[in-house]
Structures are given as structure tokens and as C-alpha cells.
Amino acid sequence: MAYLWVINRRYPGGWLSAAGIALVAWLATFVVVYLLGVLGLASFEALGVPGA
């Protein structure tokens, strides 16, 4: 919730826009970490799922 509050305070557009920005940021992070895991440059535990 604090993450959304910071985005909402920093960028114009309200809570819905802040939620959209947070979702896009989360998805981008997920994709990058997944690709690094597939390439063997990072572990999948970085995604929060140990042993996946």
C-alpha cells in the first residue's frame, strides 16, 4: 500500500493510474527476473517462490 501511495503522490492521475503503474512495474520485474532465471543468470527464488 505504501508503494501505491508513493506512486500516487509522485505522478498525476489518481489511484487508478498509480495501480496501473505499479502493475506494469511488477510485470516488467517478473519478466526480467524470469528471463534471467531461464538464462541461468539469476535464481527463481528472486520471484518469491523457493524451489520453483
Q: Full-prediction pTM beyond 0.75?
A: no
**What's residue 1's pLDDT?**
78
Q: How many CB atoms lie within 10 A of CB 44?
A: 15
- Which residue matches cell numbers 534471467? 36
As given in the structure block, the three cell numbers for residue 41 are: 543468470
Query: Which pLDDT tens digit goes with each residue over 1-52?
Result: 788 999 999 999 999 999 999 999 988 988 888 888 888 887 766 656 555 4
Instruction: Return the C-alpha cell found at 35.
Output: 528471463
Contact by Cβ (8 Å): 15, 8? yes
C-alpha 15/C-alpha 21 separation (Å) is 10
